[in-house]
Amino acid sequence: MQNKLKDLQRQLIHLVDDAKLTSSEKSELQELVAVLDQEQRNFLRNRAFDYAKQQLSDNSLAPQSVLAWLEKVNKLLQVQQTSVVEDSAYFSPGDECRRAIIDFCFKAKQQLDICVFTISDDRLTEAIIAASKRGVIIRLLTDNDKKNDRGSDIHYLIEQGIDVRFDNTSYHMHHKFALADQSLLLNGSFNWTRSASDKNEENLTITSSERLLEPFQATFNNLWIKFK
């Protein structure tokens, strides 16, 4: 994590000149910041102030530029309301499904129930771990046939203290849904993998409809008991 914070610190410095950042780099920066906990955000904010003081004392940049940069960094590091819109739809290829999942994990305050066939996208894995570090209770259901695949993050999630249960039957636990605080449902064809974002035609929907939430929550709870 320290290496990641150092990389983020270097990327934040480039915000001095927005022209140095491509649109994809800006999106990546936002996603990296989204999975930081409060302590890590404070660390980067302190480094930003140190950098600003150095630039002002060295007269390396105009004071207006330094203050504008500092304002951008502070805004980026603030805990924002999730950009996920309730009762919304997302599609891939492209990054909107992945970003919706990251925002969904970030929005969870108390409990995050995840029921997916496999997880191999490190960016989604980091969002789950970040939620856990914020004190969110994570319950993850997945299929045993995929846990040892190359690139699978399941064992890493277990090592990070995530509570994981497997469908060890000869059939597949092929669901792809998640519930946040028993108040939001994420569901669709989208596998939590890089190929789902980069190559596949996939979809996600997010809703707060109680009529849909209740059966999905009941299904998750039943599977959680079944695969104990």
Could you say which of 155, 174, 199, 226 is catalytic? Answer: 174
Catalytic residue flag (residue 174): yes
- The set of long-range contacts for 4-7, using a CB threshold of 8 Å and a minimum separation of 24, is 4/32, 5/40, 5/43, 5/44, 7/32
Per DSSP, 119 falls in state: B
Q: Which two tokens stand for residue 94?
A: 């492209």
- Report which of 118, 117, 157 is spatially closest to residue 138, judged by C-alpha positions: 157
Compute the distance between CA of residue 49 and CA of residue 70 in angstroms, rounded to an integer. 7
Does residue 93 have a cis bond before it (omega within 30 degrees)? Answer: yes
Instruction: Tell me the C-alpha to C-alpha distance, in Å, between residue 124 and each of 104, 108, 221.
Output: 10, 14, 23
* Amino acid letter for position 191: N
Could you say which of 37, 95, 145, 181 is catalytic? Answer: 181
Could you say which of 107, 146, 175, 176 is catalytic? Answer: 176
* Amino acid letter for position 197: S
- Report which of 127, 164, 128 is spatially closest to residue 146, judged by C-alpha positions: 164
Catalytic residue flag (residue 181): yes
Catalytic residue flag (residue 107): no
Question: Parallel, antiparallel, or unpaired for β 176-180 and 137-143?
Answer: unpaired
Q: Which two tokens stand for residue 29?
A: 């920066």
Catalytic sites, residue numbers: 174, 176, 181
